[in-house]
């Protein structure tokens, strides 16, 4: 194992690709990730397996699609013990079996499972701020706080300034990671995950990074009423729950400025970590992977977080670097998925033979890149059967009731993903997502509620072609591709029940 490379996995939450200069945003002030990209490979067209934290993270770790690892939502049921199917082996476990020290620092947000040998989870520093309110003594006005609008009580912080420059979650996390690199045992290689909560809410860049941008520096995408009306009812329901279109134009400018400024701050902390790696002489012996669990919307189509398959939510940044072993300054256009992580890392470490045969994904650097016409990726979110054992838990009803009360909406209208499964498919030319299952039953095409976009003529996904008669052959073809993918996956009884 003396020649085995170390693995440094940097992970962020709710991160849009367009926040980074290396993803084509010439205005972005992100020098550290841009430098990492210049010395590595940028996967331009990577998607997560589910546009929400827990299923995306669980899928990436298990190298399975969300329904196969029993995790399809962010609810509290998914965080119980023994949620993953019996026999599930995560890729950090394979590294541990191969002699690696495996360590996760920062955000966890996956089911209890012996994934890592050592874990230090982070928490919000509630004396300064949590997701919905500033800490005692810190007023919204003083720190320019913007919250999601609406009549209920769930007003999440989506803009403002963090009260402390030094004592903030990302700085503390970076310090812990640097301490680990400096003090670790030198007798075996490491797999270290450094997992930031930011730029996830509360979106509060600390000073002086809160002044990184002015709104006019950023190509803000303001609410598009016409695009909103063309979208599937599923998307509109989520937008109606979040009510982002009620924000003033000035507030929208502030939330874009603060989100992008927070990304710049996270980039600064990533830079500190990479500088420490170089100073300790570890750079040449370490594979560096950066990924986000999913992206987020900023009000373009009426919603302001996740849960949809819009490009800014489903597509994620994915960067690889290993000087002398991987190409440098390369931008890859081929489609890929976060589920490719496990097989790719094991191959780089020389232990690909240890990968379980049932893992999904491909080795991004050794497997042939599929021909363009064969490139296809998938995603899913939501429960296919509310009568299934995992869903038939009183805590789920409590979660739904709390959310409905907090948003001021009727229970059934408040959150459609609680009551059905939605799936998505993307090819180089098209992106489609559709309502797929409800109450354990596959929905017919006539019952389905879909989005279809031609990415060649409509890269910003503003014209939904689902109901366009000329698009019926495309819908039919993509539905067949979804059927083959879906039928090729396990359908655990815990998630699907006995009827599907």
Confidence grade of residue 1 (pLDDT, cut at 50, 70, 90): very low
- Quick check: is 244 in a domain? yes
pLDDT of 362: 97
Helix then strand then coil, in percent of the chain rounded to 5, is 35, 15, 45
Q: Are residues 355 and 448 in the same domain?
A: no
Q: Are residues 20 and 88 in the same domain?
A: yes
pLDDT of 439: 87
Question: What pTM was estimated for this model as a whole?
Answer: 0.95
Q: Are residues 262 and 386 in the same domain?
A: no
What's the distance, Cα to Cα, between the start and end of the chain in Å? 46
Confidence grade of residue 41 (pLDDT, cut at 50, 70, 90): very high
Residues whose CB is less than 8 angstroms from the CB of residue 475 and which lie 6 or more positions away in sequence, other chains included: 432, 445, 450, 452, 466
Q: Are residues 356 and 245 in the same domain?
A: yes
Query: Tell me, what CATH number does 416's domain have?
Result: 3.30.1120.10
What's the CA angle centered on 370, arms 287 and 465, to 5 degrees? 110
Q: Are residues 306 and 170 in the same domain?
A: yes
Of 328, 363, 398, at which residue does a domain stop?
A: 363
Region 356-375: mean pLDDT is 96
Q: Among residues 355, 351, 353, 362, which one has the least CA distance to residue 5?
A: 351
pLDDT of 327: 97
- Quick check: is 462 in a domain? yes
Distance (Å, rounded) from C-alpha 376 to C-alpha 425?
A: 7
Q: Are residues 346 and 394 in the same domain?
A: no
Average pLDDT, the chain: 92
Q: Are residues 193 and 69 in the same domain?
A: yes
Contact indicator for 258, 205 with CB cutoff of 8 Å = yes
Residues whose CB is less than 8 angstroms from the CB of residue 124 and which lie 6 or more positions away in sequence, other chains included: 130, 131, 169, 197, 202
DSSP assignment string, 203-241:
--PPTTGGGS--GGGS------HHHHHHS-HHHHHHHHH
Q: Are residues 340 and 385 in the same domain?
A: no
**Residue 75 or residue 286, greater confidence:** 286
pLDDT of 242: 84
Of 305, 340, 363, at which residue does a domain stop?
A: 363
Distance (Å, rounded) from C-alpha 98 to C-alpha 118?
A: 16
Region 21-34: mean pLDDT is 98
Q: Are residues 88 and 112 in the same domain?
A: yes
Percent of the chain residues topping a pLDDT of 90 = 82
Contact indicator for 30, 319 with CB cutoff of 8 Å = no
Q: Is 326 helix (H, G, I), strand (E, B) or coil?
A: coil
- Quick check: is 214 in a domain? no
396-451 per-position pLDDT tens digit:
666 666 656 555 555 454 556 678 899 999 999 999 999 999 988 999 999 999 99
Contact indicator for 474, 430 with CB cutoff of 8 Å = yes
Strand partners, 191: 7, 102
Distance (Å, rounded) from C-alpha 347 to C-alpha 364?
A: 9
191-244 per-position pLDDT tens digit:
999 999 999 999 999 999 999 999 999 999 999 999 999 999 999 988 988 889
List the domain range (segments joined by +) for residue 471: 378-496
Contact indicator for 12, 194 with CB cutoff of 8 Å = no
Q: Are residues 333 and 430 in the same domain?
A: no
Contact indicator for 41, 332 with CB cutoff of 8 Å = yes
- Quick check: is 97 in a domain? yes
- Quick check: is 21 in a domain? yes
**Residue 305 or residue 175, greater confidence:** 175
Q: Are residues 403 and 335 in the same domain?
A: no
Region 275-294: mean pLDDT is 97
- Quick check: is 215 in a domain? no
DSSP state of 435: E
Q: How many domains does the chain have?
A: 2
Q: Are residues 301 and 393 in the same domain?
A: no
pLDDT of 2: 46
Contact indicator for 409, 370 with CB cutoff of 8 Å = no
Query: Tell me, what CATH number does 297's domain have?
Result: 3.40.720.10
Helices vs. strands in the chain: H and E counts, helices first: 13, 16
Of 329, 363, 397, at which residue does a domain stop?
A: 363
Contact indicator for 351, 359 with CB cutoff of 8 Å = no
- Quick check: is 141 in a domain? no
- Quick check: is 151 in a domain? no
């Amino acid at each position: 194992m003396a020649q085995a490379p170390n693995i440094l996995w940097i992970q962020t939450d709710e991160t849009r690709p367009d926040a980074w200069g290396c993803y084509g945003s010439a205005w972005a002030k992100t020098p550290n990730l841009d430098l990492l990209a210049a010395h590595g490979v940028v996967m331009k067209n990577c998607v997560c397996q589910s546009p929400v934290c827990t299923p995306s993270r669980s899928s990436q770790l298990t190298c399975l699609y969300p329904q196969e690892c029993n995790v399809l939502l962010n609810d509290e049921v998914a965080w119980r013990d023994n949620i993953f199917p019996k026999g599930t082996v995560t890729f950090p476990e394979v590294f541990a079996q191969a002699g690696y020290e495996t360590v996760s620092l920062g955000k966890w947000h996956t089911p209890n499972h012996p994934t890592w040998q050592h874990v230090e989870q982070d928490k919000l520093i509630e004396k300064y701020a949590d997701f919905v309110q500033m800490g005692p003594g810190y007023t919204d006005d003083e720190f320019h706080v913007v919250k999601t609008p609406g009549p209920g009580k769930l007003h999440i912080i989506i803009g403002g300034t963090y009260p402390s420059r030094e004592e903030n979650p990302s700085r503390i996390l970076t310090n812990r990671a640097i301490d680990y690199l400096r003090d670790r045992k030198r007798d075996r290689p490491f797999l270290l995950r450094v997992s930031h909560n930011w730029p996830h809410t509360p979106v509060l860049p600390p000073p002086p990074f809160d002044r990184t941008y002015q709104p006019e520096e950023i190509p803000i995408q303001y609410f598009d009423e016409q695009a909103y009306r063309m979208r599937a009812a599923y998307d509109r329901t989520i937008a109606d729950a979040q009510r982002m279109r009620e924000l003033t134009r000035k507030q929208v400018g502030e939330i874009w400025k603060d989100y992008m400024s927070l990304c710049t701050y996270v980039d600064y902390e990533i830079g500190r970590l990479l500088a420490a790696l170089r100073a300790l002489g570890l750079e040449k012996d370490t594979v560096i992977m950066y990924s986000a669990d999913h992206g987020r919307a900023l009000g373009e189509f009426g919603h302001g977080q996740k849960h949809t398959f819009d490009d800014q939510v489903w597509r994620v940044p994915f960067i690889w670097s290993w000087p002398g072993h991987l190409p440098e300054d390369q931008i890859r256009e081929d489609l890929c998925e976060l589920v490719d992580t496990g097989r790719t890392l094991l191959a780089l470490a020389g232990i690909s033979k240890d990968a379980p045969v049932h893992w999904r994904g491909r080795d991004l650097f050794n497997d042939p890149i599929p021909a363009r016409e064969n490139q296809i990726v998938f995603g899913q979110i939501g429960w296919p059967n509310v009568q299934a054992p995992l869903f038939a838990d009183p805590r789920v009803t409590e979660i739904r009731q709390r959310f409905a009360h907090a948003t001021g909406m009727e229970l059934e209208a408040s959150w459609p993903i609680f009551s059905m499964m939605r799936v998505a498919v993307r090819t180089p030319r098209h992106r489609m997502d559709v309502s797929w299952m409800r109450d354990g039953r596959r929905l017919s095409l006539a019952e389905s509620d879909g989005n279809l976009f031609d990415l060649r003529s409509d890269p910003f996904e503003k014209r939904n072609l689902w109901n366009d008669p000329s698009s019926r052959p495309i819908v039919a073809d993509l539905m067949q591709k979804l059927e083959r993918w879906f039928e090729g996956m396990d359908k655990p009884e815990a998630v699907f029940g006995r009827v599907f």
